[in-house]
Each structure stands twice: as C-alpha cells, then as structure tokens.
Amino acid sequence: MSRRGFLGTLAGAGLAAAGCGAFPESAGRLLTSRLPLPAPFTVPLPIPPLARPVAPGRYEVTQRTAKVEIIPGTTTEIWGYDATFPGPTFELRRGDPTTIRVRNELPEPTSTHLHGGVNPPGSDGYPTDLVVPRGHSAHPHGGHPSHPGMRLNPVAKDYHYPLDQRAATLWYHDHRMDFTAPQVWRGLAGLALVRDEEEDALPLPRGERELPLLICDRAFEEDGSFRYPRAHDPHYMAGVEGDVILVNGAPWPVAEVSATRHRLRLLNASNARRYRLRLAPGGRFTQIGSDAGLLAAPVAHEVIPISPGERYDVVVDFSAYPVGSAVTLTDELAGDVMRFVVTRRAADDSAVPAVLSRPPERTRAVAMRAFDFRRTGDAGNAAWTINGRPYRPGAPLARPRLGTAEMWRLTSDFHHPVHLHLAHFQVLARGGRPPSATDAGWKDTVDVRPYEVVDVLARFDGHRGRYMIHCHNLEHEDMAMMADFDVV
C-alpha cells in the first residue's frame, strides 16, 4: 500500500486528525452516491413481508438477484433472500423448533447466520460452512476446499433452530468467509422475531403499531447500482459508510402513525456506521428490550447509541405530539433517518408495565479472559486482529464449559462492536465504571469504543461446539477480526 493510501486510511478512520481522547464517533470511510438523491421523507416506509412456512416449522427461502426500486426512478440490483431487501421477516415462537432451507441461486457461495440465535453449531452460519450455487467453481463436484474445516453444501442447506430461547428481535444475514461485508451490502439481511408467552401476556403495542426498523446505509452509482469498493480495499479498512440512510430498504422514509404508543424494533444492520438516535422535536424512547430479549423493567432514553448488529426494542408514545405534527428519527452524528407523521387520534389500550419480564439471573463467572481488538501490522500489511491474531478458522481462542458463565474483558483501539455467537451476555462495566443505561439487559453485541475496556458476563448455554467472537463492523470482520471459541 502506498504512503498516500495509508494516510487516506488513517484520515478515513479519523485517526490522523484526532488527538488523545478526541475520537470521532464515526467508524468508517464515507462513499458518496453518484446520482441525484430523493428528498428525505418522501418515500413511504415499507414493512418487509412475513415469511410463510411451507409446513409447520419449515420454511424455504431462495437467495436470488433482483432489480428493485430503492432510489425513485432507478433500479438497483440486489442479492436478496427471496429476492427482497430486507429479506422476509420470520415470526418464530419459543419452543417451536424451526428448519429454514436456504437455497442459493446467487453467483457466489453464502453462509446464513441467525444473529442472536442459540443455534446448534452446524446451523450457526460458520463462515466456511458454505452453500455453493450450481455451477460455481467451489461446487463440491468442481473445486477444492481452501480452508481447513470448510464444508461445501451444494445448492441448499437446512438450518435447524431449536428456538429454546426468550422472545427477542433477532436478525439474519450473510456470513461468508472474507466476503460478508460486500454480500450484506448487496442486500443479504432480514429480521427474525422470536415471540413467547411471557411477551404475549404484556399489553405492548402490536399489529400495525409494532414496526420493525432495519436501519442501514448504502451508496449508489450513477446507474442506480450499489456502490461499494473492491473487496478488502485498504483505503476502506476503517469500514464502509454510505451517504443514504435506508430504513427497511427505503431512503429516509416516512410513516403515518396514529397518536398512540408504537413499538419500534430498532436494528442497526449497517456495515460500519454507528448512530446516536434521537427524536425531533424532542421526546423519549422507552426501552423495553435489548438484543437478547425483554428487560426486567423499562428504561427511558433521550438518545440511543446503536452500533452495527445491536437491537433496541423501544416504545414511543405519539400521543405526546399534536395531530398533524412530524416526529423525525434523527441521528446526532449524521442527520435524518426517517419521519413519523401523526395523522389522527385513536384509542390506545396498550401500556408499558413497570415489570416486563424475569430475565435469567446472573451467575458467578468461573473464568476471566481478555480479548484485545486492534489493528496490527504495518501500512502495507495491516490487519484487524483479536489478541494479535488475524482470524484462523479452527484455531479457537477459548474453550468455555457448557453451562458456565465467564467474564470476558474486551479492549480496543477503535470502534469495535463486539458480537458473540451463541452466548448472551450482560455488560458489567465500561471503562471501570458501571455500564451505561443503554447497556441494560441481555445482549449479544456491545459497542466497544476507542481505548475503552468493557467487561461482559457471558453465559455458555444450549450447545457444545464451535462458535465465534468477532467485530461486527463487517469490513473489520472480513479483514480478519474474528476468532473461534469452542464450548466444551
């Protein structure tokens, strides 16, 4: 890499200009679109279709390319589950084991991870457990595996989800070794909602007053196609950010709502972009759930910081605004996200009870381990690493025992949203101090900021086998910031 390239990377990462303690909140390098963009709040908010089972407990979804209208007046080729972006929303129930057959009709191999799922290892979307399309050179009848432990499933694979887990907002996305970032950018992501009786019994807003909001950023070429750098471009080592914010696949959309409580399931599905969400002209989010399920009790926030992979389940009471007003979901860091227009009064029998759930208790940690997320190597040969190691499949960094809890200390040199597969965790401390109010509940992804130390208590329940810990900035992930751990 040239010196200019290296400096460019630093500038993109915000590392060059910032002094000590003055790190910017952004975590990527901006790609700008090359076509005229629509005015914000002109495109209606789409709601992704619900996936329909082909038999009780069985779904089939096909990954295909499609041309869709994202920027009005142009078409964009997407890679989509069932040719949609976001993919269909799966409504799943605790205690109803489900099998999803994923067929790959795309030009490249894929691996599908149900993020937040307590999945058996063979169905967890391991990065080298690939579904290979017909005719691809990596096809089992035509090519040779290039990674140890690589599995090539021709054309389709059945993913089995026991769903022995609490109601939560999960999501699914591509997880292919080295190519997760470009493949998710093309559209391979969607939501999966787990419901259970504990949640059913609550008087929370439901039906059309429950809105899943998958938030991500993209950039577009002149012809409407997605703009993305070539894979592993060192200029974009900090991560790729786009200049268009999409909610459920629509640019800065608008939704009409009645003056009642609404439940918003917020997901940051961006590759690298972090948000600090707020309501304008003011207002509060009542958080009811975190990544891995309902909180014990609601928590009110004016600002929700949300890093890639995280979910916040919140209730907003639109009766606090006069009919006719516009309530904008904004990002303190970059501006508009979407708008709600309060169009009418309506009866509202929903409520946010003071007690929401009985989440599992914390247990004592039987071990403490440290994971350092850092850029290593020099300019020409840099990688994002964990404990100094770039990802090597099949070389686990930890072997926690099934049924135990461990304290994992996460440290970093930059913004690294750290995600654990299988294990849900609670944030114990941030920078040696108690966690932030927005760290509440059981989580699977935590925002670790530059030079921060975050301690989490993780429970290893459900399955033995090979899982992973990685940075959910997808460019960092593809540039090796991943490690295996084995539950033994």
In the complex, the residues that contact ligand C2O under the rule CB under 6 A are 113, 115, 173, 175, 309, 419, 421, 468, 470, 472
Q: What share of the chain is helix, strand, coil (3-state, %, to 5)?
A: 10, 45, 45
309 binds, among Cu ion, ligand C2O, none (CB under 5 to 8 A by kind): ligand C2O
Torsion of CA 121, 402, 200, 345, to 10 degrees: -80
Rank residues 113 and 443 by Cβ distance to ligand C2O and give the closer one. 113
416 is in the binding site of which of Cu ion, ligand C2O, none (Cβ under 5 to 8 A by kind)?
Answer: Cu ion
Considering beta carbons, is residue 205 or 308 the nearer one to ligand C2O? 308
How do 465-471 and 416-420 pair as beta strands? antiparallel
Element (H, E) at 474: helix 474-478
Nearer Cβ to ligand C2O (115/209): 115
Which residue's Cβ has the minimum distance to ligand C2O? 115
Instruction: Tell me the two tokens of residue 289.
Output: 């759930």
- DSSP per position, 256-299: EEESSEEEEEEEE--SS--EEEEEES---EEEEEETTEEEEEEE
Q: Which residues in this chain contact Cu ion in the complex, by CB under 5 A? A: 416, 471, 473, 476
Spatial distance between the Cα atoms of 51 and 88, rounded to a whole number of angstroms: 5
CB of 443 to ligand C2O, least distance (A): 13
Give the count of beta carbons closer than 10 Å to the beta carbon of residue 107.
Answer: 10
Q: Rounded CA gap, 81 and 104, in Å?
A: 9
Minimum Å gap between C-beta 308 and ligand C2O is 8
State which residue, 261 or 419, has the beta carbon closest to ligand C2O. 419
Structure tokens at 128: 């080298």
Q: Which does 278 bind (CB under 5 to 8 A by kind): Cu ion, ligand C2O, none?
A: none
Q: Which does 175 bind (CB under 5 to 8 A by kind): ligand C2O, Cu ion, none?
A: ligand C2O
Closer Cβ to ligand C2O, 175 or 466, answer by number? 175
d(CA 359, CA 269): 25
CB of 477 to Cu ion, least distance (A): 7
* Vertex 441 angle, CA 439 and 445, to 5°: 60
Could you give the CA distance from residue 477 to residue 231 in angstroms, rounded to a whole number? 12
Please give the structure tokens belonging to residue 19: 């002094």
At its nearest, how many Å lie between Cu ion and the CB of residue 384? 6
DSSP assignment of 291-340 equals TTEEEEEEEEES-EEE-TT-EEEEEEEGGGS-TT-EEEEEETTTEEEEEE
Query: Is 291 or 317 the residue whose CB approaches ligand C2O more closely?
Result: 291
- Choosing among ligand C2O, Cu ion, none, which partner's interface includes residue 115 (Cβ < 5 to 8 Å by kind)? ligand C2O
CA dist 321 → 206, 208, 279, 432 (Å)? 20, 19, 11, 39
Residue 421 binding result from Cu ion, ligand C2O, none, given CB thresholds of 5 to 8 Å by partner type: ligand C2O
Minimum distance from residue 468 beta carbon to ligand C2O (Å): 6
**Residue 173 binding: pick among Cu ion, ligand C2O, none (C-beta 5-8 Å cut-off by kind):** ligand C2O
| Partner whose footprint covers residue 419, from ligand C2O, Cu ion, none (CB < 5 to 8 Å by kind) | ligand C2O
User: Residue 301 is encoded by which pair of tokens?
Assistant: 């926030």
CB of 124 to ligand C2O, least distance (A): 9
Residue 31 or 189: the one with the smaller Cβ distance to ligand C2O is 189
**Closest among 59, 95, 179 to 474, alpha carbons compared:** 179
Q: Which is nearer to ligand C2O, 113 or 466 (CB)?
A: 113
Looking at beta carbons only, is 190 or 224 nearer to ligand C2O?
190
Rounded to whole angstroms, how far apart are CA atoms 80 and 183?
A: 10
Instruction: Identify what 113 binds: Cu ion, ligand C2O, none; CB under 5 to 8 Å per kind.
Output: ligand C2O
Among Cu ion, ligand C2O, none, what does residue 176 contact (CB within 5–8 Å per kind)? none
Measured between alpha carbons, how far is 398 from 408 in angstroms, rounded to an integer? 10
Q: Which is closer to ligand C2O, CB of 346 or CB of 395?
A: 395
Q: CB 165: neighbour CB atoms within 10 A?
A: 22
Question: Would you state the structure tokens that stand for residue 407, as one six-digit string?
Answer: 């304290």
Of 160, 98, 159, 109, give the one whose Cα is nearest residue 132. 109
**Least Cβ distance, residue 175 to ligand C2O (angstroms):** 5
Nearer to Cu ion, 89 or 473 (CB): 473
Shortest Å distance, C-beta 419 to ligand C2O: 5
Give which of Cu ion, ligand C2O, none residue 473 binds (C-beta under 5 to 8 Å, depending on kind). Cu ion
